[in-house]
Amino acid sequence: MNRANSPALGERRAAAGLYPQYRVAAVKAYDALIARRLEAVRIADPDAGAVDDFQIATPGRLDAYQVKWSRYPQPFTLQRLLSTAGGKHPLVRQLAAGWKGLRQLNAGRLVIVHLLSNDYAHHRGEDASFALFLEECWRPRAGKRPAEPIPERWRAIWEPLQLASGLDEGEFHSFVESCEFDLGYALPKPPEPSPLPLATDHLARERDLQDLATCFFRLAADPRRIVEISHAQLIRELGWQGRLELRHRHEFPDPTIPIRRSSRPLGTWIKPWHGSLAAMSCCSELLALENQPY
């Protein structure tokens, strides 16, 4: 058999191509774990449409992601959202359909869909800049509905996007409020080994992220087709019981050293110090006088 075309090599290439999305999922899940907000993670959810790579469930909220990763980052253009190449629906319609479907299935949560990519927003030519459109028109509407109308200069982009989304005007405004373009995303780089405590913390975080990414990859490949794993199940799967029943590094337990309590009034402890402090002050003034230049 030609080793270059062997099934095993094909599977490895596929796994390498999927690695970034599981790595991103690990980062997002880990941050939610540390913040004590993670309720569940969903991987390859068939009900999520185009935003099926992974979902992070936190109290009252669901963040659903489609990850598009390039070996070498390139400009992300408006045309990529509008294209119907290959007979597929435009990407913006796929995102809108995923958002609508998840809203119906998660009525008690705010559903936010994300298009996340290491590709960067196209910024050639200020008047036709997709990056500038996102900055001035799209992102200011994320999470809220501004009172002002769409700026005239951006209608040439806004209207084709609405048409391609398949949503009416009101729905499209709601969709824009709930759709985030996370472009130019960079995965955290593994830290260099170092004896410093901070570097040790970074190395521990890196190991945790690797464990999470591997766990998510295993779940996606599991023949049982497990879609959702709860916070508690995830901790058990990773073997993090007791270690990541998370204690924030700035939270401290009650002291185990017994505190001696005295019936002696506080004033009787403080008064002797007044005399000592006065004496110290006097000595300091004498030393200052002695050191004065003549």
pLDDT band at 92 (very low <50, low <70, confident <90, very high): very high
pLDDT band at 241 (very low <50, low <70, confident <90, very high): confident
Taken in order 276, 279, 284, 287, is the CA torsion positive or negative?
A: negative
pTM of the entire structure? 0.76
Q: In the chain, how long is the greatest CA-to-CA distance? A: 98
Euclidean distance between CA atoms 43 and 64, whole angstroms: 10
* Confidence at residue 19, expressed as pLDDT on a 0 to 100 scale: 84
* Confidence at residue 1, expressed as pLDDT on a 0 to 100 scale: 44
Q: What confidence tens digit (pLDDT) does each residue in 206-237 have?
A: 999 999 999 999 988 888 888 999 999 999 99
* Confidence at residue 211, expressed as pLDDT on a 0 to 100 scale: 94
Question: Which of 51-60, 152-161, 165-174, 277-286 shows the lowest per-residue confidence on average (mean pLDDT)?
Answer: 277-286
Q: What confidence tens digit (pLDDT) does each residue in 250-273 have?
A: 444 444 444 444 455 545 544 554
* Confidence at residue 148, expressed as pLDDT on a 0 to 100 scale: 77
The pLDDT mean for the chain works out to 80
pLDDT band at 283 (very low <50, low <70, confident <90, very high): very low
> Would strands 54-58 and 120-121 be described as parallel, antiparallel, or unpaired?
unpaired
C-alpha separations of 162 from 39, 57, 255, 287 in Å: 33, 28, 59, 80
High-pLDDT (> 90) share of the chain, %: 56
Closest alpha carbon to 113 in 167, 176, 169, 165:
176
Q: What confidence tens digit (pLDDT) does each residue in 114-133 have?
A: 999 999 998 766 545 889 99
